[in-house]
Amino acid sequence: MTKHEFGGPWTQLKLDVFRDYVRFFTTALKNKNFNLHYADAFAGTGNQNLKTEEGQPVLFPEEDFEGSVRVALSLNESFQVYHFNDISEEFCQQLHRLSGEYPGVDVRITQLDANDFVREFCAGLGSNDRAVLLLDPYNTELDWESLKVVASSQRIDLWLLFPLSTLLRMTPRDGNRIRPEWEATLNRLLGTDRWITELYKPKEAPQIEDMFGAEPESEVERLNVDGVSKFVKNRLSEQFPFVSDPVTLRNNNSPLFLFFLAVSNPSNVAIGLARKVSGQIIKKYSTR
Ligand SMILES: C[S@@+](CC[C@H](N)C(=O)[O-])C[C@H]1O[C@@H](n2cnc3c(N)ncnc32)[C@H](O)[C@@H]1O
């Protein structure tokens, strides 16, 4: 079997949050006469083997954990259609083998770039369809434009894993150290170049001794982690009628990813329910 090594304890937290939400979603909508779709644009293999990092003992190195695909397929109340996409041919083959374990379940597997998959998936949804979409890239693979397509569908609840640590690395604290070759990636990831003015603010007046320092200091510095997280949430809120507070996934206390629920359905009922349920789930896992 193909091993898919990625993540760590933070991945388990992501999947626990995700599992609680899809359980709620399929239970709440089971008698509502909608066609329920589950879409996983970065599907992986269905399993996860925790990555062994140098110097970091892994508790269960050989153990297979459920990936998002298995979580979605193992629900008591099921979705009507499962859409699994991954760019890796090997992982798609593994997904085909896995779908064989669920005879009679409508599983559709594609091997596309996730941004193309999102466009195709959203274009295929009709007025009676409702969906949960998981977008959990490794890094900066997802374009902001794809999120706009999801938001305009008005029928998708999105769980988005945003690569916070990469954003922090690409926006160094000292504004002089921004590398011009990263700007296009940041613009694509965030859908704007406003990060230059919104993430960087004028420094407090320099200390007297700094004025005689050899290095010319930048006049701007990047916001702290909380400020950057708020900026990402505000960007999402410009597109989606409801965005939850993020669950921050950490490794040894360093923030790695932000995990958000973003609801595209503008109805007050959908938003009220999403706010309540995501609040409960986030609170449940807030101490991990
Ligand atoms: C973090 S893993 C996904 C984990 C999976 N959702 C789970 O919980 O088991 C990211 C996946 O994205 C796939 N991938 C990387 N770049 C991609 C792209 N541009 N389009 C689609 N899939 C991509 C990788 O092959 C990998 O399986």
3-state secondary structure string across the chain: CCCCECCCHHHHHHHHHHHHHHHHHHHHCCCCCCEEEEEECCCCCCEEECCCCCCCCCCCCCCCEECHHHHHHCCCCCCCEEEEECCCHHHHHHHHHHHCCCCCCEEEEECCCHHHHHHHHHHCCCCCEEEEEEECCCCCCCCHHHHHHHHHHCCEEEEEEECHHHHHHHCCCEHHHCCHHHHHHHHHHHCCCCHHHHCEEECCCCCHHHHHCCCCCCCEEECCHHHHHHHHHHHHHCCCCEECCCEEEEECCEEEEEEEEEECCCCHHHHHHHHHHHHHHHHHCCCC
CB 18 within 8 A of CB 277: no
Which atom of ligand 1 is least distant from the CA of 88? 25
Residue 184 predicted with pLDDT over 70: yes
Residue 48 has pLDDT above 90, yes or no: no
Report CA(85)–ligand 1 centroid distance (Å). 8
User: And the tokens for 173?
Assistant: 């604290």
Q: Where are the alpha helices (DSSP H) in 65-140?
A: 68-73, 89-99, 114-123
pLDDT of residue 55: 44
Among 86, 113, 136, 140, which residue has the most ligand 1 atoms within 8 Å of its CB, making it the best to mutate? 86
Residue 53 scores a pLDDT above 80: no
* pLDDT of amino acid 144: 98
pTM of the model as a whole = 0.92
Mutation to probe ligand 1, out of 42, 90, 113, 135 (largest number of atoms < 8 A from CB) = 42
Backbone torsion region of residue 96, taken as left when φ is above 0, otherwise alpha when ψ lies between -120 and 50, otherwise beta: alpha
Q: What are the chain's domains?
A: 9-163+228-284 (3.40.50.150)
Can you tell me the distance from the alpha carbon of 256 to that of 163, in angstroms, rounded to the nearest whole number?
7
Alpha carbons 228 and 222: distance in angstroms, whole number: 8
pLDDT above 70 (res 22): yes
Give, in order, the Cα–Cα distances in Å from 105 to each of 19, 73, 90: 19, 9, 22
Specify the DSSP class assigned to residue 204: P
Nearest CA to ligand 1 atom 17: 87
Task: Give the nearest ligand 1 atom to 115 CA.
Answer: 20
Query: Which protein residues touch ligand 1 with a CB less than 6 Å away?
Result: 6, 40, 42-44, 48, 67-68, 86-88, 91, 113-114, 136-138, 141
Q: Which atom of ligand 1 is nearest to the CA of 86?
A: 22
pLDDT in tens, 54-67: 444 454 555 678 99
Count of CA atoms in the C-beta half-sphere (13 A) of 63: 6
Region 91-104: mean pLDDT is 97
How many other CB atoms sit within 10 Å of the CB of residue 266?
12
Q: Which residues contact 138 (CB under 8 A, 6 or more apart)?
A: 6, 42, 163
Partners of residue 129 on adjacent β-strands: 35
The protein residue with its alpha carbon nearest to ligand 1, atom 13, reads: 42
pLDDT in tens, 204-258: 765 555 555 555 567 899 999 999 999 999 999 999 999 999 999 999 889 999 9
